[in-house]
Amino acid sequence: MIQGLIVKKVIEIVVKKLLKEFKLDKVKKYVEEPNELDRQVKSLQKNISKYGKYIEQVEKDIAILKKLSHPKADFVCTGCGCKAKRIKKKTKK
């Protein structure tokens, strides 16, 4: 029982000395604690989520508009049956 406690304390002391000797405490801190890049990634994930919701809403609005819109008009000549194009300027008769 006492030997177990002594072994645990010795191991803790050895680990602390090794961490300091090889500067692993900084590596451990870098790995375990959030740093600047972690914060940036988290911020970007929030923005992506926000824009994803916005895109979904816009797609719903477009679907509603498509449902309410009239079909595309085809202009057909009554004489020959060919399709006519829209003109930009009106001509006088």
d(CA 68, CA 86): 23
CA neighbours closer than 13 Å in the CB half-sphere of residue 34: 7
d(CA 79, CA 57): 46
In order of 4, 6, 24, 62, the CA distances from 18 in angstroms are 21, 18, 8, 63
Full pLDDT tens readout for the chain, 93 residues: 788 889 999 999 998 888 788 888 788 888 888 889 999 999 999 999 999 999 999 999 999 999 988 777 667 776 776 776 666 666 665
Domain edges within the chain = 2-65
